[in-house]
Structure 1
Amino acid sequence: MLVLSHFFHNYILMAAVLSWIFAQIIKTVITLIITKRFDPERILGAGGMPSAHSAMVCALFVGVLRRCGAASPEFALAFVLAGVVIYDAMGVRRAAGEQARVLNKLVEITEKNGSEVTRKGLKESLGHTPMEVLAGIMLGILVALAMG
């Protein structure tokens, strides 16, 4: 039970986790407003506005900065982790989503020409636009500052 207490009283961890939760809630609400339907995949899914990954690592980064200082090894780790995650969200995962879009279109064209393709469509919303990442960064910073 003591471990659970430490978990919930860890400012850095809670800032990161709450940033992710808030981002997923915001993402779900935005999808609900735009599409006029509830999409449960948005609650845990990747991609969309704001970037939950960016929010989480930026809250972690700010939390570590505030608790440990810029000269600490913890800060260096948080800084590098944030950079890698943000780069991945905008670069690698976004490119994978664009490739999925192209492959899904090819499957659609192939099926229209009479060939049967027995695979489910690939998930296209994997990465983030720069604006989605920026929104996630700002959310993570705000949550960490508001909590600390």
Structure 2
Amino acid sequence: MSYLQQLISNSVLITALIGWFAAQVLKMILVWDKKKFDFKRIIGSGGMPSSHSSFVMALTMSIGFTQGFDSGAFAISAVMSFVVMYDAAGVRRSAGQQAAILNKLVESVMNADFSKTEKRLKELLGHTPIEVFAGAILGVIIAIIRYV
């Protein structure tokens, strides 16, 4: 079996990718303007639900279902999932809040002249705890649907 065939047949990876994709599509639907879809949401970060959380929890649960919830691979994946989710709701969310404040400072002090900073800083970086939780639940549900 070739490497590409192995990759395509990796159900754990496919489940994780489905978790990510489902969250991104849900984001697009939830921010849908009646005139058009915001296709930037399909690759953007931040918002409801957290695609990072859905991605890592679908991965973790898939490993649990395929290799056992008592396996070392599951333990590693679970720990890394919690790190990713903590980061999404903590560090990345704080960075987004700081970007919003810096953008307001540039607007007020420099009369919105972003030429010195090249452009507005991206404000939608992280997630609220609810967005992280919703993404995690989505990932768990997707893995359950695929394996149970």
Report the TM-score when normalising by structure 2.
0.90
Matched-pair contact (CA < 8 Å) for 1:31–1:37 = no
**Post-superposition CA distance 1:32-80 (Å, at most 9, x none):** 14x7543232110110011000000000110111111122110111011
Q: Whole-Å Cα distance in 1 between the matches of residues 64 and 11 of structure 2?
A: 12
Q: How does 1:92-131 map to 2 (within 5 A)?
A: 92-112=91-111, 116-118=113-115, 119=117, 120-131=119-130
Deviation at 1:5, TM superposition (A): 2.4
Give 2:65's aligned residue: 66
Q: How does 1:38-49 map to 2 (within 5 A)?
A: 38-49=37-48
**Post-superposition CA distance 1:13-40 (Å, at most 9, x none):** 111011001111111111114x754323
State the one-letter code of the partner of 1:75. F
Give 1:25's aligned residue: 25
State the one-letter code of the partner of 1:73. G
Instruction: Flag structure 1 segments of 5+ consecutive residues without an equivalent.
Output: none
Matched-pair contact (CA < 8 Å) for 2:56–2:139 = yes
Deviation at 1:131, TM superposition (A): 1.0
**Post-superposition CA distance 1:98-143 (Å, at most 9, x none):** 000000000110133xx84413100000000111111101110011
Could you tell which deviates more after superposition, 1-10 or 82-91?
1-10
Q: Whole-Å Cα distance in 1 between the matches of residues 44 and 28 of structure 2?
A: 10
The CA RMSD measured in Å over matched residues stands at 1.7
Q: How does 1:129-144 map to 2 (within 5 A)?
A: 129-144=128-143
State the one-letter code of the partner of 2:26. I
The 1:7–1:107 alpha-carbon spacing in structure 2 relative to 1, beyond 3 Å, is: same
State the one-letter code of the partner of 1:16. A
Query: Equivalent pairs: percent with the same residue?
Result: 45
State the one-letter code of the partner of 2:69. A
Matched-pair contact (CA < 8 Å) for 1:32–1:39 = yes
Instruction: Flag structure 2 segments of 5+ consecutive residues without an equivalent.
Output: none
Q: Whole-Å Cα distance in 2 between the matches of residues 117 and 11 of structure 1?
A: 46
More helix, by proportion = 1
State the one-letter code of the partner of 1:10. N
Give 2:3's aligned residue: 3
SS of aligned partner of 2:48? coil
Matched-pair contact (CA < 8 Å) for 2:23–2:138 = yes
SS of aligned partner of 1:32? coil
Report the TM-score when normalising by structure 1.
0.90
